Every structure is written in structure tokens, then in C-alpha cells.
Structure 1
Amino acid sequence: MIESFAKTGFAHVPSVLDASTCRALCAQSPSKSGAGDRSLLHQPWCATLAASLREHPALSSLLAETPVVVQCTRFAKSDKHNWLVPLHQDLSIPVADRIDHPAWSGWSEKDGLLFAQPPVDVLEKMVAVRVHLDVCTRENGPLRVVSGSHRHGRLDLATARRLRDRIGETYCTADTGDAWVMRPLLLHASSKADGESHGQRRVLHFLFGPAILPHGFRWNPAA
């Protein structure tokens, strides 16, 4: 799996959590807005889950070079909250303070957190773990990823579209409790859930990274 993950930039890890744990997490983590929440990590249940994921036998080898969890975001698609995400890479990370440095850009603030776009070599060290709390079929608006695209660095939209058209997309469907592990630089997108009775698609998206950031930057502990 390690070799495949390095090549493709994503991996499917089944049955990371059991169904009863997923039900408890759904009750434990209601979203503020109904659609998502980027600042869950400060909650004890979330920090505990992050630690258990870090030590999970099937995940630990994929997270070997990313010793700390730096953010957890909850995404919840449903009949009332349904959206699409265009083709993109995840380029922003949560930081504690703004520091003017030529290698850092793209400053923004979301849900009270400060984000910046670091150099590519930082993004190449990041790993995301998406834990599915519900079954996710093609009708539930799953993630679609472009295999191997993380190895091309930061991409402009035209280049990203050419890669997608040439390589195609993989649908990241899942059973309850499955996880998808991915590199943030991997090109990905998702469609709206299809139909009026597709149910919910709740995901906890954990971001892992290096313990120390360059150029004096620090992780935002509230993320």
C-alpha cells in the first residue's frame, strides 16, 4: 500500500471505524452551519480520535512522516445542504500568525482560523485522512481524484484540466467506517449528491503534517 500511495497519491482503507462508533461520532459532532465545520480539533473527542487514527495499524505506515494532526473538518452533504466542488488542490493550511515571507501566499480567514499557502515542499509532506461516517455511493457526491496528479506540484487550472482529461478520475466511494487517505496536492473534485433521497454523506477530514513548519510559522492550535 505504501508504494501504491506514493504513486497514486490516495489509498482506500476499509473498516477503520465500526458502525456503532460512527453513529456515536455523528451525534458527537453536529455541524454549526449544517454543511461543515473546520475547527473540531480542539474538542476532546476529536483529539482522541485523531490520536487513534495516527496509531491505527492500517494507517500508521501512510502517516509515518506526518507526526502531528493539525486540523479536522467535518463535511456533511444532505438533502438540505448539497454542493459541488470544482477540480482543485488543497493548498492552504491553518497557521497561528501572519508572517510576511515571499514563499508564503494566499492568506485567508475561515471560521475564525487563519490560513496560508505554504511552499510546495511543505504541502508534499501533508496527508489527509477522510473518515466516512455514512455509506457513500456515486449518488452521494463522493470525492473524485486524479491519480498521480500530486507529483506535478502546484498546478494552474488549465494544466489541471488537461491532466484530468488525460488520466481520468477515480470515484472514492466508501462503506460506513472506511477511510480514504490522500495527498492534499492530489487533484480532486466532487459533484452534488444526486436525487432527493440520497441520504447523508458525513465525513471527518483530518489533516496531518510535519511537527515543525519552516520560516518561523506555527500551526494554529485551535484548528
Structure 2
Amino acid sequence: MRATLDDLNKQGFAFCPPIYSEAEISDIVKTIEINTKDKANFRRSNNLFAIRRFLLEVPEVYPMVFSPKLKSILAELLGENYFLVKSIYFDKPADSNWYVAYHQDLTISVNQKIETEGFGPWTIKPDNFEVQPPLSILEQIVTLRIHLDDTSAENGALYIIPESHNKCILRPELIDWSNTSEKVCPVEKGGVMLMKPLLLHSSKRTTNLQPRKVIHLEFANAELPNGLEWAER
């Protein structure tokens, strides 16, 4: 696990082998389907089904996601000071032509808008507010992507630019591709990809008619100033 942490800090990403069984994944997916079937407040289209504030919207899935194996990984890699601050469920259907260009994850979710030095711009979401915090907060966030399907370049595996998380905030349109290498990040079903939010990443269209379901979890260890509160802590 030491090597995994070293990769995360140096390259901006790392992988854990599958930690969920076929039965556990099946239970997670069924629980999501049952508890979202008649709810209209989720983002649904032919290209994407997304649930923001996932673990708050579908609390029944929490003990399944936070299995003993996941808790062990979190304890070993992050320690006791980190806590969950954001959860999203992404379901990219088999025939999705949804494409996401290179970007960094630059915002956090908070419960209310309080104008605070170093925080901004702000975006209003249905259930919370999104704001770009100071770089020092973004740098210590760690994202876990739990894959509920085998994921390859053909069905939405992330493309990333290694070590780009060490270059602060970047404008993707200014990437010098003549001096930049990208890497595709396939992940086995039940596996976990860890990444730094400042890592430049993208996702291409599905071409193999295979779905890609991912649970996206963000963890932080920073208290917010001036009365700001993490939306999902």
C-alpha cells in the first residue's frame, strides 16, 4: 500500500485491485436501481444517469460501499483525519456518446453561500453550493472512483496527464501536446482508482456498447473557514 500512496502523490493517480465481489457489486447496483426508480430529481438522459449527493440520496447503499476492505484502504492510505465530503454516482450507458474534455476538479460542495476570502467563483446547485476554494484545500483532497463495471478506453476509462496535479491550476486549452503524454486508466470491475482532483483528466465516448458505472467519492482533511461547511460531511 506504500507504493500506492507514493504513486498517488507523485503521479496524481494510483490503483487498487478489485475489492468488491460480483455478489457485492450486484447488491450495490440493485439497491441503487430500487431506490431511484421513481425519483425524478436525478440527472437522466440517454447518455448519462447521475446522482449527486449520492450517499445522502441513497443511504441504503452506504454500508455496502464502505465495506471492511474499503475501510481498511482508507485507514491505511488516508489515516483517521480524512472524512467524506462529496459522493456522486455516474452511469454511462452502453450506447453513450457523452464526452468530457480535459479538466481539473476545481470545486467543492458546501451547505450555504458565505462570501469568504479566497473562495470563488460560486455556482448554485439544486441541493447545495459549489465553490472553488483556495489551492491549499484542493491539493489535499483525494478522490476514489469505485468501478462497478470493467472499464477500458472503449467505454469511458479516464485519460489522464500524469503529474499534472503538481502544476497548480491549468487551462486545458493551453496544453502543449507536443511536450505532453496522456495515459488511459483501465480499471477492473470492483477495482478502485485513486486520484488527485487537480490531475487533468478526460473521458471519451463509448464505442464497445458496454456500460460504465462508477461511484465517485471525495475525501478531505481540512476544516473550512468563516462558517462554511462541507455539504456531505
TM-score when scaled to structure 2? 0.84
How far residue 111 of structure 1 moved from its aligned partner, in angstroms, is: 4.2
Alpha-carbon contact 1:11-1:181 (below 8 Å) kept: yes
SS of 1:216's equivalent in the other structure is coil
Find the partner of 1:37 among 46, 51, 66: 51
Stretch deviating more after TM superposition (59-68 or 109-118) = 59-68
Deviations 1:182-201 (A, max 9, x none): 00011000101114xx2210
Residue in structure 1 matched with residue 225 of structure 2 by the alignment: 214
Find the partner of 1:180 among 193, 198, 203: 193
Return 5+ residue gaps in structure 2 as ranges: 37-41
Partner Cα distance (1:20, 1:120) in 2 = 40
Report the CA distance shift for 1:55/1:193 in structure 2 as closer, same or farther (over 3 A).
closer
Partner Cα distance (2:98, 2:218) in 1 = 22
Amino acid at match of 1:39: R
Find the partner of 1:27 among 26, 30, 35: 30
Partner Cα distance (1:3, 1:77) in 2 = 30
Deviations 1:43-67 (A, max 9, x none): 3234334544795334433323761
Partner Cα distance (2:84, 2:69) in 1 = 8
State the percentage of identical aligned residues.
29
Residue in structure 1 matched with residue 39 of structure 2 by the alignment: none
Residue in structure 2 matched with residue 114 of structure 1 by the alignment: 129
Alpha-carbon contact 2:24-2:64 (below 8 Å) kept: no
SS of 1:15's equivalent in the other structure is coil
How far residue 174 of structure 1 moved from its aligned partner, in angstroms, is: 1.3
Deviations 1:123-157 (A, max 9, x none): 01101000000111221121111111111111123
Amino acid at match of 1:26: V
Residue in structure 2 matched with residue 83 of structure 1 by the alignment: 98
Residue in structure 1 matched with residue 115 of structure 2 by the alignment: 100
Deviations 1:14-40 (A, max 9, x none): 112111111111111236325211121
SS of 1:100's equivalent in the other structure is coil
Report the CA distance shift for 1:25/1:112 in structure 2 as closer, same or farther (over 3 A).
same
Partner Cα distance (1:119, 1:80) in 2 = 38
Report the CA distance shift for 1:56/1:77 in structure 2 as closer, same or farther (over 3 A).
same
SS of 2:63's equivalent in the other structure is helix
Alpha-carbon contact 2:96-2:205 (below 8 Å) kept: no
Report the CA distance shift for 1:96/1:6 in structure 2 as closer, same or farther (over 3 A).
same
Stretch deviating more after TM superposition (60-69 or 147-156) = 60-69
Partner Cα distance (2:64, 2:178) in 1 = 37
Deviations 1:81-119 (A, max 9, x none): 441100000001110111112301121133432111100
Find the partner of 1:130 among 140, 145, 154: 145
Partner Cα distance (2:180, 2:68) in 1 = 31
Which is richer in helix? Answer: 2
4+ runs of 1 displaced by more than 6 Å? none
Amino acid at match of 1:219: W
Alpha-carbon contact 1:104-1:119 (below 8 Å) kept: yes
Task: Report the RMSD for the aligned CA atoms in angstroms.
Answer: 2.2
